[in-house]
Amino acid sequence: MNRCGGLPYFYNRKTHRAICGATTEDNFVKWAHGGDSEEFFSPPPTQEELAVLYRVTGLNARMNRRMDRVKNKGQSKMQGLSG
- Is the pTM higher than 0.85? The answer reads no
- Gyration radius of the chain over CA positions: 23
The pLDDT, as a whole number, for residue 80 is 82
Handedness of CA 52, 56, 57, 63 (dihedral sign): positive
Tens digits of residue pLDDT in 33-82: 888 887 776 777 788 888 877 777 788 788 888 999 999 999 998 888 77
